[in-house]
Amino acid sequence: MRNIYFFGFIAIALLASCGKGGQGELVGVYNKKFKNNRVPLGMVYVPPGRTLIGMSDEDINNTQTAPSRMTSFSAFFMDQTEISNAEYRQFVNWVRDSVAVTTLGPSAAPNFYMPAPANAGAGLPSERNINWKKVGNGSLLWSNKNGGFGSKLGDMYYSGADAIPGRKEIDVRKLRYAYSYKSIDLEAEGRKDPTKKRSDFIVTYTDLPDPNNPNQFPSVHVYPDTLVWKVDYSYSQNDPMVKTYFNHPSYDDYPVVGVSWEQATAFCVWRTRFYESVAASRKQPINARPEYQLPSDAQFEYAARGGNVKTKYPWGGPYVRNTKGCMQANFKVGRGNYSDDGGLYTVNVRSYFPNDYGLYNMAGNVSEWTVTSYNQSAAPLLLDFNPNFTSVYRPGESKYKKRKVVRGGSWKDIGFFLQNSVGTYEYQDESRSYIGFRCISAYPGSDIRYSN
C-alpha cells in the first residue's frame, strides 16, 4: 500500500511539472483570477455596439463640425446619475482630513499613520501613508474631546482678519489635491525620441511646481466655487444658492456644480486610487478595475442615445413633452419658463425617467464635462471606433487648447442644446453653475454576450 502511495505521488508530481512547462512547452503566465466584471456601485453597463453619431438634426449655430457617421464603441460602465453634492463632498472631506493629518505629522498623531517598516531608515517616517482605518470619518481628528486633535488644527481655520468673529470655519483654500500620472498622450508623442526619459511623460500637480518643468502644475483646489451662482448672473438674486447649495442637506442629491474640468479630472484620479487602496487590502491587483475618467465626447453621445439610432433626445422621441404633457428634462422652456419642468435651477439627480440604458439626465439639469478637447477641425481626423481628440495644455500655449467639450445641455439652456448630437465647450479652468460631470470606467475585456 505504501508503494502505491509513493508511485502515485511521483506520477502526480511528474504530471504537475509537465503542466507547468516542465517539458519546454508554452503554457503562459496567468494573473490571479478575480471577479472584475461586476458593475461598480452607482454605475450602469453600456454595451458595445455601433450607432450614428453627429449632427442629424437642425444646426442653428451652423457649425457643421460634427457630420453624422456610423461609429462603433467598446463596452464601458457609466455613472447612472451626475455626481451629486454628497458624492463630491466625500472627495472634499477626504482631502480635508488628509491635509489635517499631514499638518499634525507622525510625531503628533502616530496612530493616524501606517507603521514604518523595520528597515525604514532615517527620514522615512514623515513619508508614511495615512492609516485611513484609524482616521475613520474624522470624528476623532476634529474633536476636542476624548483625546481628539481638534485643538491642534488651528491652522486649518480662517484666522485674523479673514475670520468672522464668533464663527469657526475651515479655510477651504487649504484643501488642495496633489497627484501625478503618466500621460499616454505625451508618451505617444515622444516614443521615438531617444533623448526622452520616463520623467518627461509624468504630469504632476504639486504644491510647489517647478517653473522650469512644463509638466508640473499647481495642486488642484478641490472645493467647488460656490460664487458661480453670483458671478454667472450679475443681475439675479442668487445669494441663497451661494450660501446653501453645496452644504445644505436639502441639496445632497443635487448635481455638484462650480467644479472645473481640472477639478473633475482630479476627482476621477482620487476615485480610482480610493478603490485601488481597497483592492490592495483584499490582495487584488492594483488594476483590479480600469481607472475612472471623464467620458469622451462620442461616448457621452453614444450612451445618451440609449441604443437607439437617429433619435433626437435621450428619451427616444422627437418632443420635449411626453404623452401626458409633462416635460422630460430640466431646461429653459420656451422663452424663459424655467419652472415649467419642475425646477427653477437644478433638480435631484434622479429626476425624470432614465433612458434605455438606465442613465438619468443625459439631457438637461447640468451640462457635463468630457475628456475631449474642443477642436472644430478634428472631425475628419477621428476614427470610426471609439473616436476621441485630446491635448495637454501647458502654460504659455494658446488658450484655445484649454477648451473642453461639454455635453447634454443644462437647466438654463434652450431645448436645442438637449439634443444628443449637440455639444459646446468651456475652458478647463473655468467653473459654472450649470456644468457638472459623471464618470466612466472601461469594461475589462470583450463581452461576448453581445456578439452575433
pLDDT 10s digits, 266-280: 999 999 999 888 877
Which position has the grid cell 455635453? 407
Higher pLDDT residue, 393 or 261?
261
C-alpha closest to that of 386 among 39, 48, 65, 45: 48
Share above pLDDT 70 across residues of the chain, in percent, rounded to a whole number: 87
> Per-residue pLDDT for 319 more than 80?
yes
Host H or E run for residue 18: helix 2-19
| CA pair distance 19, 13, nearest whole angstrom | 10
Question: Given this model, what pLDDT does residue 172 score?
Answer: 95
Question: Given this model, what pLDDT does residue 125 score?
Answer: 43
| CA pair distance 183, 200, nearest whole angstrom | 9
| CA pair distance 7, 143, nearest whole angstrom | 68
Average pLDDT over residues 171-195: 92
> Per-residue pLDDT for 245 more than 90?
yes
Residue 343 · residue 384 · CB < 8 Å: no
Cell of 169: 470655519
Cell of 345: 435651477
Share above pLDDT 90 across residues of the chain, in percent, rounded to a whole number: 55
Query: Which is it for strands 179-182 and 202-206: parallel, antiparallel or unpaired?
Result: antiparallel
Burial per residue of 106-135, b for 16 or more beta-carbon CB atoms within 10 angstroms, e otherwise: beebeebbeeeeeeeeeeeeeebebbbeeb
- Report pLDDT digits (tens) over 365-387: 999 999 999 988 888 888 899 99
Chain center to CA of 102: 25
Higher pLDDT residue, 279 or 188?
188
C-alpha closest to that of 39 among 323, 345, 416, 443: 443
- Report pLDDT digits (tens) over 25-40: 888 887 777 666 688 8
Q: Give the type of residue at 397.
A: E
The vertex-146 CA angle with 141 and 147, nearest 5°, equals 55
Strand partners, 435: 367
Residue 164 · residue 192 · CB < 8 Å: no
Q: Which of 1-10, 161-170, 358-367 has the highest mean pLDDT?
A: 358-367
> Per-residue pLDDT for 238 more than 60?
yes
Chain center to CA of 407: 15
Higher pLDDT residue, 337 or 258?
258
Average pLDDT over residues 277-306: 86
Question: Given this model, what pLDDT does residue 217 score?
Answer: 92
- Report pLDDT digits (tens) over 104-161: 988 888 888 887 655 544 444 444 588 888 888 888 899 888 778 988 999 999 999 9
C-alpha closest to that of 149 among 112, 192, 190, 174: 112
Say what the alpha-carbon torsion angle 387, 360, 43, 301 is, to the nearest 10 degrees: 0
Question: Given this model, what pLDDT does residue 240 score?
Answer: 94
Contacts 24+ apart (CB under 8 A), 235-240: 238/433
> Per-residue pLDDT for 59 more than 70?
no
| CA pair distance 314, 180, nearest whole angstrom | 36
Question: Given this model, what pLDDT does residue 379 score?
Answer: 81
| CA pair distance 366, 87, nearest whole angstrom | 16
> Per-residue pLDDT for 196 more than 60?
yes
> Per-residue pLDDT for 227 more than 90?
yes
> Per-residue pLDDT for 281 more than 80?
no
| CA pair distance 402, 181, nearest whole angstrom | 19
Question: Given this model, what pLDDT does residue 316 score?
Answer: 87
- Least confident interval from 5-9, 200-204, 344-348: 5-9
